[in-house]
Amino acid sequence: MKEELNLLKPEKVFKYFAEILEIPRPSKKEEKMTAYLMDWGTKRGLETLRDDIGNVIIRKPATKGMEAKPSVCLQSHMDMVCEKNSDKVFDFEKDAIETFVEDGWLKAKGTTLGADDGIGVATQLAILDSDDIEHGAIECLFTVDEETGLSGAEALSSEVLKSRILLNLDSEDEGEIFIGCAGGKDTLGKLPFEKEETPEGTAFKITVKGLKGGHSGDDINKGLANANKVLNRVLWTLDREMDMCLAGFEGGNLRNAIAREAKAVIVVSKEEADDCVAIVNKFAKDVKFEFRSTEPNMEVSINLTENPEFVIDFLSQDNLLNLIYALPHGVLAMSREIPNFVETSTNLASIKMVDDCFVIATSQRSSLESAKEAACDKNAACFLLAGADVSHGDGYPGWAPNPDSKILKIAKESYERLFGKTPVVRAIHAGLECGLIGEKYPEMDMISYGPTLRGVHSPEERLEIKTVEMFWAHTLDILKNL
C-alpha cells in the first residue's frame, strides 16, 4: 500500500497519508493518532502541545525573510468515520485501511478511506516537514472527535491559538472556497417494548442493502434512499396485510451518515408465508424503480431464518412502525437567500435494539438557529406521540459567512492566478469546526477548502488524486502571499 501511495504526487503529502492510513483513529479513540503527532513534532524540535481532550498543536517559526507575515493556523481533524460493507471483515480499532487506485481516484477496499480528514492532516505534516516553502509563523491544529460531536473543537481553549487567520482543510470540492456552514443538533428517541413468546409460524429476515449512503449534510439533497425508511415501508405494509410479528429492526450506524443497510426479522403464519414473500418481492421491484437513477445497486431481499427467541409486543410494534414512517428525513427547507442551498435538514440515522428499547438516532442541521431548533422539535413531537423518551445533544453553532473576509480575498486571487479561473465561494450545509472556533475567537478570519472527495462517510469514499496537487499548490501560494 505504501509503495503505491508513494508514487502519487505531491509525494510528501501522500507519504504522510500512507502513514496515517495505518493508524487506527475512530472518533473518540484517537489515542494512537495523538501519540503519533506528539512524537512526530517532538522529534523535529517543533513546539508541540496536547490539551486535556487530545487536540494537538504543532508550531513552526516563519521562514527567513517572512517573519513580518501574520501567523496562520492550519486546521484539520484527526478522527475518521468508520463505515464498512457488511461482508467486509475489518476492525477499525486495529486494522490499517487498504487502498487502491482506480481511474484517477484513491479508494479503500470495502471501508471508508479516511481522507476526510486524513488528507488535511497529511498536508499539514508535509508543510511542517518542508524546508523549501515560504511562509510566516504557522501553528497546525489537529482536533479530535469532529465526526461524532465536535467535542475537540468544543473543548479548545479560547487562549491557546496565537493566529487570527485560520485555514480549515476539511472541505471536499476542489475549486470551491467555503465561508459558512450549518449548525447541528442530535435528537434521540428511546421506545420501550415488551418481549413476548414467539408464535408458531415462518420466520424471515428482510434486508435492505447496496445503498450509497453518504454524508448527511453534503448528500442530503441528492435524492438518495435511506435504508431505515425503505425497510420500514415494506414492514408497515406487511403489518396491515397479515398477522406479522416483529422480532428485530436494526439499521444505519452513525448520526452523520445516511443509512445504507437495514435488516428486520419477522414471523408470519405458515399459511401467509408465500403471500409475505410475494409482497416483499413486489415492493423490491417497485422501490428499485422508484430510486433507479440514484440507487442503481439497491437490494431488497427476503430469506428464511431461524425462529427468533422472542417477538415484541403488538402495541410497541405498531408504535415503532408508525414512528419510523412519520419521522422526517431529508431536506426540510431550502435557503431563501442562496440559490440551491439547503437551509434545514434532518437525518434518520440509526435504529438499534438495546436491552428492551429501540434507540433511534436522528440528526438535524440548519444555517438558522431557530430552524435547527424547530427541526429538533419536529422529531421530538414524533417520538412523543409514539410514547418514546426524548433527549437532545448539546449541538454546535453554525458559521456565519463574511463575504468581506481578507483571507477570502487572498485565497480567491491566489486561485485565479494559479489556475486561470474564479473559484466558487459558498456556504456548506455540513458542519465544520469553524463555527465553534469562531465562537472562541470572534476575530478569527477563516475559510475552508480542500481537494475533491466523494462518497464520504461511506465505503464509497474516494479522493480525486489530481485535485490534491491543486489543493497543495493553492495552500502554499496562500501562505506565501498573506
DSSP code string of 261-325: -EEEEEEE-GGGHHHHHHHHHHHHHHHHHHTTTT-TT-EEEEEE-PPPS-EE-HHHHHHHHHHHH
DSSP state of 367: S
Q: Tell me phi and psi for residue 285, to 5 degrees.
A: -65, -45
Quickly list H helices, 6-66: 11-21, 31-43
Cis before 308? omega within 30: no
Handedness of CA 464, 466, 467, 471 (dihedral sign): positive
| Cβ proximity of 428 and 181 under 8 Å | yes
Grid cell, residue 255, equals 448520526
- Tell me the whole-structure pTM to 2 decimals: 0.84
- Distance between start and end Cα atoms, the chain: 37
Q: Give ranges for CATH 3.40.630.10 in the chain.
A: 2-182+398-480
Handedness of CA 190, 196, 201, 202 (dihedral sign): positive
**Cβ partners under 8 Å of residue 364, min gap 6:** 184, 185, 186, 187, 344, 345, 346, 347, 372, 375, 376, 379
- Say which residue the cell 470540492 belongs to: 173
CATH class of segment(s) 2-182+398-480: alpha beta
| Cβ proximity of 371 and 333 under 8 Å | yes
| Cβ proximity of 453 and 175 under 8 Å | no
Residues designated catalytic: 79, 146
d(CA 345, CA 211): 20
CATH class of segment(s) 185-392: alpha beta
Helix then strand then coil, % of the chain, to nearest 5: 30, 30, 40
Question: Could you give the 3-state DSSP secondary structure of residue 103?
Answer: coil
Q: Give ranges for CATH 3.30.70.360 in the chain.
A: 185-392
d(CA 260, CA 293): 16
Per-residue pLDDT of the chain in tens (482 residues, 90 and over written 9): 567 888 899 999 999 999 999 999 999 999 999 999 999 999 999 999 999 999 999 999 999 999 999 999 999 999 999 999 989 999 999 999 999 999 999 999 999 999 999 999 999 999 999 999 999 999 999 999 999 889 999 999 999 999 999 999 999 999 999 999 999 999 999 999 999 999 999 999 999 999 999 999 989 999 999 999 999 999 999 999 999 999 999 999 988 899 999 999 999 999 999 999 999 999 999 999 999 999 999 999 999 999 999 999 999 999 999 999 999 999 999 998 888 899 999 999 999 999 999 999 999 999 999 999 999 999 999 999 999 999 999 899 999 889 899 999 999 999 999 999 999 999 999 889 999 999 999 999 999 999 999 999 999 999 999 999 999 999 999 999 99
